[in-house]
Structure 1
């Protein structure tokens, strides 16, 4: 009898564990998380598609943006990250820089309305957070492009350098750094934004063997640093620290977040780096020491652009998510993942569930609090019916953004 009871008990135990395992597989728990999309204005990637001035243009631009927001709501997202200073020009009336040519077609030409105020109001009307996306140092997008004659970069050429044919504010010139911070703070003071956001453009990405033309600036301002690379990293650190301090002093509720390249350093250069073999890294290539920003609490959230698939040998998705999760653990800095919606259906992304599986993997780690997708058009275009698949699986319902 005792033996029979033992057998029955084991059968019940095994049966229960089987049911529990099955339930854990099929149940998709949706907790509060950040679900954002990037809306890029530079070269009119996402918005506006209609460029110019006049009532008809303004009407079209408004309708285009409202349609984007409605798509965001339909996809059960809860935040938009909108590029409002793409190339040292603006999508709002500024006392510092000219109106963007990506808005009116001509740099410095007023559209006759305030697109930023409109976008914020429409986002908040739909209960979407609005994060204002700035590019701090880029002045031109095309080689040999020249801003209008009254542009601050033209009036203060000592603030700039050309690299790869493009014009940039020099991060090593204190006046240029302070000027860029003042630009951003103008928006912080005057608009009801939820966040200040930057991507991965501080010092420019390497162009072949071309060296950065900042040697004279280094000799003038970087004497205490033995090598220029350390001085450059310090310039970016000062920018991040100072901007964070000013934002928190003005409006403590505004979140300050940065979306860097997906790899800080490779393991072969630094044993505390990720086990990757990326050709470019934040620390060594573009002088962005993201680790320091996290450790010092100079940012509220970080969104590494992990634009590779699961299983990709050079920079494997899960490996990098784990590494970034370790970086933020215990720091108070929130971690969201930059997701490559634009790669769905391309080489290495033929699996229609790749993006969905990435979101599920993110949710398996307590440190990951959500995702931001590049870019909104890639989801709207709906390759491999990714929009419907995500709504049926990982984004079945709208959720709040965690505090």
Structure 2
């Protein structure tokens, strides 16, 4: 019946065959812990339109988070420092032009980060604050477009022009200290779950920092090694300062997909593309080895069929690195997914709506990758070729918890002290009172029907996640059958994602 219907609406048989049930899916059901994140890009207003009022922005944040929650995502990576600016009130950076659409430094009259953070936590999603440390301007901007309190205006000696853009010079101690202070301000003032950096480091080999190298790089005979040292030093300093303020806040980086090619290093990947070690002077493997990050998300933005940079080859290579090179503590591997390439690339593999969904299944089958991050929000919503429907209906079929990071704190929280349920027609309100404890950051709500076996390992039984609010929390289950009786079990989740061993259970009345 399905075959006949599809053929009648004109879909090619090749696509139809791709739509068959995947053996990998059957062998790798949805795990209970899996990172499922969406980047929300604010630079050049990719995912967020400028000039919204507070009410309009709040409605957009609510709609965005509710949509991702419905699709069983559990994290947003919100770009809060797209250049040397901020989408929150900062003493160290001006207001971003991307929030108001006006001159940089224009106050929108509300706090975009706080609203997005509150909304994400209200719906049980983590928020990772995404920063771009070195970038001062985009190609369309000049120094005259910057606010007077921009660090590049206050310290023009810190700025280097490369191509059509301006950057802070990573080799200057003042720049390093400023960037660390900016992260400290962010972490101290906001209850973010992680700080996230993407793939922009040194912008290229011809970066004009010879004078800086001669002044500060005397210990290095190669300018490339010195540049990589500068980036790794910043990474280490940021991580240490995050942990000094809030030990549970994670630090993750999403570098480009290739560390080094085998042609340049026998320990590199069997690829032939731009390597960030050589082109951007970022030694991502060193961060894994030294434990200066909690997760790494290589942007493997290629298909499995692309010979010069195969997704499959790179998935295996990165898996080996986190498995064998993480000497200080585990480093989680998440994969950056190229949602933006679906039906929009020279590589015809992206014309297959199942290319990206099958990549997710490959991640699961791999057993080392612990999830994925999707670039970017507008492409998830665009749903080219229906690929996002496939992900939602066949792969992200149940909710999942974000992977715990016990190396940042291994204490196991106790179950909530008190849980009450109130069945009201077509919904059930779950009220959590845990005021005498401070060991829970959020709670997981499980639901079981009638005499159903209570199984807390099956993610199909998770109906929601809710964040603690000063010892209390509330969750409303809107997806119930009024004629059925349910048992709700509630577990506690620590600040580092560790779940309580037991659950507080409560039954609804008939």
* TM-score, length of structure 2 as denominator length: 0.71
- In structure 2, stretches of 5+ residues that fail to align are 1-21, 405-510
For the structure 1 residues 97 and 268, does the alpha-carbon distance in structure 2 shift closer, same or farther, using more than 3 Å as the test? same
Establish whether residue 239 from structure 1 lines up as the match of residue 234 from structure 2: yes
- Secondary structure in structure 2 of the residue aligned to 1:83: strand
Which has the larger share of strand?
2
Q: Which residue of 2 aligns with 1:340?
A: 338
For the structure 1 residues 384 and 216, does the alpha-carbon distance in structure 2 shift closer, same or farther, using more than 3 Å as the test? same
User: Counterparts in 2 of 1:274-289, with a 5 A limit?
Assistant: 274-278=269-273, 280-289=274-283
Establish whether residue 271 from structure 1 lines up as the match of residue 266 from structure 2: yes
Asked if the contact 1:50–1:60 (Cα under 8 Å) also holds between the matched residues in 2, the reply is no
Asked if the contact 2:260–2:269 (Cα under 8 Å) also holds between the matched residues in 1, the reply is yes
For the structure 1 residues 59 and 292, does the alpha-carbon distance in structure 2 shift closer, same or farther, using more than 3 Å as the test? same
Report the number of matched residues: 372
Q: 1:220 aligns with which of 212, 215, 228?
A: 215
Q: Which residue of 1 aligns with 2:384?
A: 383
User: Counterparts in 2 of 1:14-33, with a 5 A limit?
Assistant: 26=26, 28-31=28-31, 32-33=33-34
Establish whether residue 192 from structure 1 lines up as the match of residue 191 from structure 2: yes
Asked if the contact 1:50–1:61 (Cα under 8 Å) also holds between the matched residues in 2, the reply is no
Q: Which residue of 1 aligns with 2:299?
A: 305
- Report deviation, 1:205: 4.0
Q: Equivalents in 1 of 2:82, 2:160: separation in Å? A: 18
- Secondary structure in structure 1 of the residue aligned to 2:77: strand
Establish whether residue 132 from structure 1 lines up as the match of residue 126 from structure 2: no
- Secondary structure in structure 2 of the residue aligned to 1:273: coil
Asked if the contact 2:28–2:365 (Cα under 8 Å) also holds between the matched residues in 1, the reply is no
RMSD in angstroms over aligned alpha carbons? 1.5
Asked if the contact 2:24–2:361 (Cα under 8 Å) also holds between the matched residues in 1, the reply is no
Establish whether residue 358 from structure 1 lines up as the match of residue 359 from structure 2: yes
1:338-357 CA distance string (max 9 Å, x none): 00001112332111110111
Asked if the contact 1:341–1:379 (Cα under 8 Å) also holds between the matched residues in 2, the reply is yes
- In structure 1, stretches of 5+ residues that fail to align are 1-21
Q: Which residue of 2 aligns with 1:163?
A: 162
Which has the larger displacement, 194-203 or 63-72? 63-72
User: Counterparts in 2 of 1:5-154, with a 5 A limit?
Assistant: 26=26, 28-31=28-31, 32-47=33-48, 49-51=49-51, 57-104=53-100, 105-142=102-139, 145-146=142-143, 147-154=146-153
Q: Name segments (4+ residues, structure 1) moved above 6 Å.
A: 22-25
- Report deviation, 1:68: 1.1
Q: Equivalents in 2 of 1:24, 1:387: separation in Å? A: 18
* TM-score, length of structure 1 as denominator length: 0.90
Looking at both structures, which has the greater relative contact order when contacts are Cα pairs under 8 Å and sequence separation is at least 6? 1
